[in-house]
Amino acid sequence: MNDLIQTRKLGNSGLEVSAIGLGCMGMSFAYGQTPDKKEMISLLQAAVERGVTFFDTAECYGPFTNEELLGEALVPFRKSIILATKFGFRNGDASLGMDSSPKNIRAVTESSLRRLKTDTIDLLYQHRVDPNIPIEDVAGTVKDLIAEGKVKYFGMSEAGVQTIRKAHAVQPLSAVQSEYSLWWRRPEEELIPTLEELGIGFVPFSPLGRGFLTGSILKDAKFESTDLRNRLPRFTAAALEANQGLLDLIAAVANQKETTSGQIALAWLLAQKPWIVPIPGTTKLHRLEENIGASNIRLTIKELSDINAELEKIKVVGNRYPEDMEKGTGK
């Protein structure tokens, strides 16, 4: 393992990954103009060379093109990395609604194996909870896929604690993925205590607040028409301006530690539990290196206490998602 980055175990499952993973969605989906494919292949390979072993994709990123990108880029390193992908939408398109039927789970798995150019998916997540399919049937299908050697570990994304418990009783979960960051702390209420009790790892997505927590998005920021952030209430001009106090807090800690705001945001997450593995996304090498560097920053108990005391005084303005995008975040 590269000494640039530590490793962590996701709960009690035995799944060991780099302490910082790489969320790959933005390499082909969601944030405006699609980056150059050759550049993204180089970036993915640079991540491996710098010690990243945990790569996160999904069939619906594109759809399909993100898995194909990872398949092409990571074939030479396949034995030394962990690939995570997801099922759960009709025809791989999130806009068409959910489909976690056993038949679809199997079909997606076969297609993902082909696109990822691999014999086994290391970590297979249900992308969003499907209210029409009993979670026991979902977990049972993944259990069968594990028995067949097509999948190694089972995960869920944005699931509620009751659903997690039901799934975990059928096929133990290795990881749950949800949004968690300095500006979205709801997982602390129920999710994190439940994961700790059950021995399940936690994989925060958007750990940098979709770029906001790095301090690089100014209050008058304009996004490309196809950028997801145009739809998110927290990225209106009024919300960006109102949330400046949070950036000031992070910047003050970063100055004190002689590091960057993004690294402080990631180091704060890593300090919460030893089984938390954030997956910041990026399309830039210097940001990748910055994110990796966060795994070596230690916040003291006093520093964490001071940060949390200041966070209590700050009210984050703006909903995380518009209402139609909150579906599938269950009980």
DSSP codes joined into one string, 17-44: EESS-EE-GGGTSSBSSPPPHHHHHHHH
* Element spanning 84, H or E: strand 82-87
Does 204 reside within a domain?
yes
Which pLDDT tens digits describe the chain residue by residue (331 residues)? 345 799 999 999 999 999 999 999 999 987 778 899 999 999 999 999 999 999 999 999 999 999 999 999 999 999 999 999 999 999 999 999 999 999 999 999 999 999 999 999 999 999 999 999 999 999 999 999 999 999 999 999 999 999 999 999 999 999 999 999 999 999 999 999 999 999 999 999 999 999 999 999 988 888 998 889 999 999 999 999 999 999 999 999 999 999 999 999 999 999 999 999 999 999 999 999 999 999 999 999 999 999 999 999 999 999 998 887 776 555 6
- From the list 119, 157, 115, the residue with the least C-alpha distance to 138 is 157
Cβ atoms of 304 and 271 within 8 Å: the answer is yes
Does 230 reside within a domain?
no
Q: Which residues contact 276 (CB under 8 A, 6 or more apart)?
A: 8, 180, 201, 202, 203, 204, 269, 270
Measured at the CA of 304, the angle between CA 294 and CA 201, to 5 degrees, comes to 60
**Whole-angstrom distance, CA of residue 239 vs CA of residue 320:** 11
DSSP state of 315: P
Q: Is 206 helix (H, G, I), strand (E, B) or coil?
A: coil
Residues in the chain: 331
**Whole-angstrom distance, CA of residue 331 vs CA of residue 317:** 24
User: Where would I find the H helices in the chain?
Assistant: 37-49, 65-74, 102-115, 135-147, 161-170, 191-198, 237-242, 244-257, 261-272, 285-293, 301-312
CATH number, domain of 98, equals 3.20.20.100
User: Catalytic pick from 31, 61, 153, 180?
Assistant: 61
According to the model, what pLDDT value does residue 197 have?
98
According to the model, what pLDDT value does residue 329 have?
55
According to the model, what pLDDT value does residue 330 have?
57
Does 315 reside within a domain?
no
Which pair of structure tokens corresponds to residue 10?
Answer: 């996701």
What range does the domain containing 119 cover? 7-210+273-297
Does 115 reside within a domain?
yes
Question: Which residue's structure tokens are 């759960």?
Answer: 88
Does 328 reside within a domain?
no
- Distances in Å between the Cα of 284 and the Cα atoms of 37, 101, 197, 276 are 13, 37, 37, 24
According to the model, what pLDDT value does residue 2 have?
45
Q: Is 61 marked active-site?
A: yes
According to the model, what pLDDT value does residue 163 have?
98
Is the sign of the CA dihedral 9, 14, 16, 21 positive or negative? negative
- From the list 23, 108, 110, the residue with the least C-alpha distance to 70 is 23
Does 22 reside within a domain?
yes
Does 143 reside within a domain?
yes
Please give the tally of structural domains in the chain. Answer: 1
Distance between the two ends of the chain, CA-based, in angstroms?
A: 38
The pTM score is 0.96
**Whole-angstrom distance, CA of residue 6 vs CA of residue 114:** 31
Burial (0-12, 13-18, 19+ Cβ within 10 Å), 268: buried
Q: How many CB atoms lie within 10 A of CB 160?
A: 17
Does 126 reside within a domain?
yes
Q: How many CB atoms lie within 10 A of CB 303?
A: 17
- Distances in Å between the Cα of 274 and the Cα atoms of 16, 126, 206 are 12, 24, 19
